[in-house]
Amino acid sequence: MKKTRLGGISALIVGFLYILTVVIVLVSPPGENPVVDHVTYINRLVAVHYILGFLGVLGIMVVLAISNRLEKYTESSEWYPYSKVMAIIGFALLAINNFRQVGMDHELSHEAMMKGGVVFETIVTSWAGLVELSPQGWVDFGFVGLWIFTVGIITNKYLNKKVLSILGMVGGACFILTVLGNVSGITVLVMVGMGLGGLIIVPIWFISFGILLVKSDNAIPSIHVAKLENNKPTI
């Protein structure tokens, strides 16, 4: 079995970062438009971008670690490698998008407020297209959610981890629901998807899987020692 300690620790951190992100956003109530929000709450929102940027980097490590843990159960699956790559792309885009926004949001929002008039209205109207690489969340939420849902199905089928499996399937579905809410404009879907999934289910799933990965890694030396003991020549 491949080592998964680093991935396990990363999963624990990712879970806490998801919670921290949602909490910061909740204490920054939305204003009349994103430009005003980024002037009013610039420090909090820059912090969110940094958190999500590092979350994306750590998320890639988690995908690889969980894939290593499930390798013997997915080696014959045609779908799982696709979902794995999609999740890596999703986390990579999350990192790129948010590290890119750290400086861009600050400059755009303050420039728009200073110029006013047509410039202000133009930036407000085109804000999502200017700063977001995945405005509706298809890649950073949809792809990642699809992978989490897939892992939930696999753990339900092969591992005796019913709670972990249910958390994965529900959490993945919540992320997908968030995308559908963004696409359809139905706010309640986004609220359920992010409120239930982003704040509760998905973080708990990452933290739980992180604990499992760390425990699995700790068991590896014991397995090797047992094999060596069994292979000792008898006198």
186: DSSP letter: -
Instruction: Return the higher-pLDDT residue of 180 and 220.
Output: 180
- Residue 66 CA to residue 74 CA, distance in Å, equals 11
Q: Indicate the pLDDT class of residue 220, thresholds 50, 70 and 90.
A: low
Cα 221 to chain centroid, rounded: 30
- Residue 150 CA to residue 86 CA, distance in Å, equals 11
Q: Indicate the pLDDT class of residue 235, thresholds 50, 70 and 90.
A: very low
Residue 106: what pLDDT?
A: 77
- Residue 146 CA to residue 141 CA, distance in Å, equals 8
Residue 224: what pLDDT?
A: 41
Q: Indicate the pLDDT class of residue 219, thresholds 50, 70 and 90.
A: low
Q: Are 87 and 147 in contact (CB under 8 A)?
A: yes
CA distances from 97 to 35, 123, 228 (A): 17, 18, 48
Q: Tell me, what amino acid is at 169?
A: M
Q: Indicate the pLDDT class of residue 228, thresholds 50, 70 and 90.
A: very low
E strands, the chain, are none
Does the pLDDT of residue 9 top 90, yes or no?
A: yes
Q: Give pLDDT tens digits for 14-38.
A: 999 999 998 888 887 777 778 888 8
Does the pLDDT of residue 227 top 70, yes or no?
A: no
Q: Give pLDDT tens digits for 66-110.
A: 999 999 999 999 999 999 999 999 999 999 999 998 878 878 887
- Residue 177 CA to residue 113 CA, distance in Å, equals 34
């045609």: which residue's tokens? 78
Nearest by Cα to 5 from 234, 227, 221: 221
